[in-house]
Amino acid sequence: MSLKDNLEEVLEEIEETRLHSLTGEKVNLIAVSKNHPVEKINELSQYGCLNFGENKVQEIVDKIPLSKNNIKYHMIGNLQSNKVKYIYDKVVLIQSIDRLKLVKEINKRAKKDDIFVDILIQVNISKEEQKGGVNIEDTLDFLENCLDYKNVAIKGLMGIAANTKNQNEIRTSFRNLFKLKEDIINRNYENVSMDYLSMGMSGDYKIAIEEGSNMVRIGTKIFGKREY
Ligand SMILES: *Cc1c(COP(=O)(O)O)cnc(C)c1O
């Protein structure tokens, strides 16, 4: 299968699933291009796929100058605060914010530049320690602490389900994140939007969409297996 075929199949399945999802909302596709060459990214952009997810700062920095102008990168991996400076103004959305230290560092730089940096709060919905993210029960506190940093704009939540075959466990964790998003909306925080609920990867994006995701991050199903 070609990249084009893979993309078309994924887009069709997203659309089919959306028709019976909780919200019926349109779903944004982020093609996760980590460990894949920029040529493939540029090729996909010709088919209208313009949003790409990466998990390493260095890889983003290397790829941007070689990428077509209309391509947008999302940071979806663990971010160290000393590397914020390389990407805060180059990516369209930082999806992996789970520490106040990161928020402070981004805010400091964004304020100096007089810009706003869009972020998602990453919530740990799998209870797997290594996945990162704020604990679900701590998220409201974390969000409220972020509100002091005016140049960081909270746009929603991101979560990664457990790596398990147990579909009920996956579905429950997505449902919990959706409920948290609704709870945050109902609290009407000033300058907080819940535009994006980023959940679902190659193995579980249909369940995620059914449970109200409007942003899926899909790597393997578009690019094939990553070579490490
Ligand atoms: C790698 C990665 C993905 C994509 O995973 P696939 O299973 O290849 O679709 C999605 N989200 C995050 C945070 C990732 O690190």
Task: Give the CA count within 13 Å in the CB-facing half-sphere of 28.
Answer: 16
How does pLDDT run along the chain (228 residues), one tens digit per residue?
799 999 999 999 999 999 999 999 999 999 999 999 999 999 999 999 999 999 999 999 999 999 999 999 999 999 999 999 999 999 999 999 999 999 999 999 999 999 999 999 999 999 887 779 999 999 999 999 999 999 999 999 999 999 999 999 999 999 999 999 999 999 999 999 999 999 999 999 999 999 999 999 999 999 998 765
Answer whether residue 228 is part of any domain: no
C-alpha 92/C-alpha 180 separation (Å) is 24
> Could you tell me the CA-to-CA distances from 225 to 4, 32, 35, 37 in Å, in that order?
16, 11, 10, 13
Amino acid at 78: N
pLDDT score, position 225: 86
Looking only at the bridges linking them, the beta strands covering 215-218 and 28-32 are parallel
Q: How many domains does the chain fold into?
A: 1
- The atom number, within ligand 1, closest to the CA of 55 reads 15
Q: Is 31's C-beta closer than 6 angstroms to any atom of ligand 1? A: no
Answer whether residue 33 is part of any domain: yes
pTM over 0.85: yes
Cβ atoms of 121 and 135 within 8 Å: the answer is: no
C-alpha 199/C-alpha 6 separation (Å) is 20
> Could you tell me the CA-to-CA distances from 146 to 93, 94, 196 in Å, in that order?
16, 14, 17
C-alpha 146/C-alpha 150 separation (Å) is 8
pLDDT score, position 130: 76
Q: Is 199's C-beta closer than 6 angstroms to any atom of ligand 1? A: no
Return the CATH number at 173: 3.20.20.10
Answer whether residue 80 is part of any domain: yes
Backbone CA torsion sign across 49, 84, 190, 161: positive
Q: Is 103's C-beta closer than 6 angstroms to any atom of ligand 1? A: no
29 Cβ neighbours under 8 A, 6+ residues apart: 10, 11, 14, 49, 51, 216, 218
pLDDT score, position 126: 93
Q: Is 29's C-beta closer than 6 angstroms to any atom of ligand 1? A: no
C-alpha 212/C-alpha 144 separation (Å) is 24
Q: 198: closest CA among 143, 225, 148, 159?
A: 159
Q: Is 220's C-beta closer than 6 angstroms to any atom of ligand 1? A: yes
Site to probe by mutation for ligand 1, drawn from 52, 121, 201, 207 as the one with most ligand atoms within 8 Å of Cβ, is: 201
| Residue range(s) defining the domain that contains residue 42 | 3-223
